[in-house]
Chain A
Amino acid sequence: MKDEQDELLDQLFRTVRAMKVDTDSVGEHFETRLMASLEEHRESRALWSAWAWRLVPWFSIIVIIVAAGSVLMDPARSNDLFAVFTNGYDEYQATSLIAGG
């Protein structure tokens, strides 16, 4: 059931609904301003994209250096892939034995 507050609220809504918002000042040359903003938007996007492409060779060089470094400087390389797991497990077993865990 509607109480007094509900009726008051409905009355407020009715009054405000009937008020037309004056947006003429915003509407004036809105399209011109919008297209200028869009142009700016496009330019900044193009700039970012150009920079991203320019940075690609540098990132590629870094990736190659890191990859080469990891290949050349890794002392524990083995052709036996299974050794990668077993070496770690052996070490763990030895530590447990010494520490008594």
Chain B
Amino acid sequence: MKATTSVPADESLVKDALAGDDEAFVLLVRRYKRKVFGLAARFARDGDELDDICQDIFIKVYENLGKFRNDAPFEHWLARISTRTCYDALRKRRKEKSFVPWESGHYEIADSSSGERQAAEHARDLLERGMVMLQPAERLVITLLELEEKSVREIAGMTGWSEANVKVRAFRARQKLKRILEREYER
């Protein structure tokens, strides 16, 4: 007889976690942590902050599991919580305008020579220098739009802002980044 190993659906894991099964929640975390890390890493300044943001996200998920409705996939609901937590993290450190680069070796650049790696790191530093000058909402929108390649509609769903609002914020962020880069190149 052929043994069947079925992967439990998100909804059934949520149900079990709500019933007090911590293992079910750990399975959910294991399933989605990479995606959450990937998004949070766009906003965190170092590994410690990344860890804090990700822990915050999953604690909020755990606390609000009862509010999860099966009318949308769990992943979408998780993405909304992740986005809002990242936004909160950005707002918390709004006053800090100084540029803090990631520790070296934080990014992986596949199949690249040392020259390409250097150029990529320079590009990332330059962009990060501009990003820290943006308002938290602008940074969030431009990151989701340009780096995470989300559509305006998706961003509106994740943030709870209207599509027009997302477009305006993206436009402003782009204009500001262009001005910042212009100044950087003039130096």
Q: Contact flags (1/0) for A38-79 with B, using CB distance below 8 Å?
A: 100100000000000000000000000000000000000000
Tell me if A96 is interfacial: C-beta within 8 Å of chain B.
no
Question: Which residues of A sit under 8 angstroms from B58, Cβ to Cβ?
Answer: 34
A19 touches B51 (CB 8 A): no
Q: Contact residue range for chain B?
A: 35 or more
**What is the CB-to-nearest-CB distance from A66 to chain B, in angstroms, rounded to a whole number?**
36
A77 to B182, CA, bound (A): 77
Q: In the complex, A15 Cα to B107 Cα: how many Å?
A: 12
Q: Are B41 and A23 in contact (CB under 8 A)?
A: yes
Give complex CA distance A34, B54 in Å.
9
Residues facing A in B61-119 (CB within 8 A) are: 62, 105-110, 119
Residue in contact with A12 in the complex, picked from B62, B123, B182, CB distance below 8 Å: B123
B153 at the interface (CB under 8 A from A): no
Looking at B5-13, B22-30, B133-141, B160-168, the stretch in contact with chain A turns out to be: B22-30
Complex contacts, A22 vs chain B, CB 8 Å: 105-108
* CB–CB A12/B42 < 8 A: no
Q: How far is the CB of A6 from chain B (nearest CB, A)?
A: 7
Q: Is the CB of B33 within 8 A of A13?
A: no
Q: CA separation between A21 and B121, bound complex, in Å? A: 12
Q: Which residue of B lies closest to A39 (CB)?
A: B22
* Nearest CB in chain B: distance from A44 CB, A: 12
- Alpha-carbon separation in the docked complex, A12 to B123 (Å): 6
CB distance from B61 to the nearest CB of A (A): 10
B28-53 vs A, CB cutoff 8 Å, 1 = contact: the mask equals 01100110011001100001001100
**Can you list, as one digit per residue, whether each of A3-45 has a CB less than 8 Å from chain B (1) or not (0)?**
0011011011101111111110111001101110110010000
Are the C-beta atoms of B26 and A31 separated by less than 8 Å? yes
| Other-chain residue from A12, A26, A31 in contact with B30 (beta carbon distance below 8 A) | A31
On whether A21 and B146 interact (CB within 8 A), knowing A5-B181, A12-B127, A16-B123, the answer reads: no
A selection of 19 A-B contacts at a CB cut-off of 8 Å is: A5-B178, A8-B181, A11-B123, A16-B120, A16-B124, A17-B146, A17-B149, A18-B109, A19-B124, A20-B109, A21-B106, A21-B107, A22-B106, A26-B47, A30-B29, A31-B29, A31-B30, A38-B62, A41-B59
Give the A-binding residues of B (Cβ under 8 A): 22, 26, 29-30, 33-34, 37-38, 41-42, 47, 50-51, 54-55, 58-59, 62, 105-110, 119-120, 123-124, 126-127, 146-147, 149, 174, 177-178, 181-182
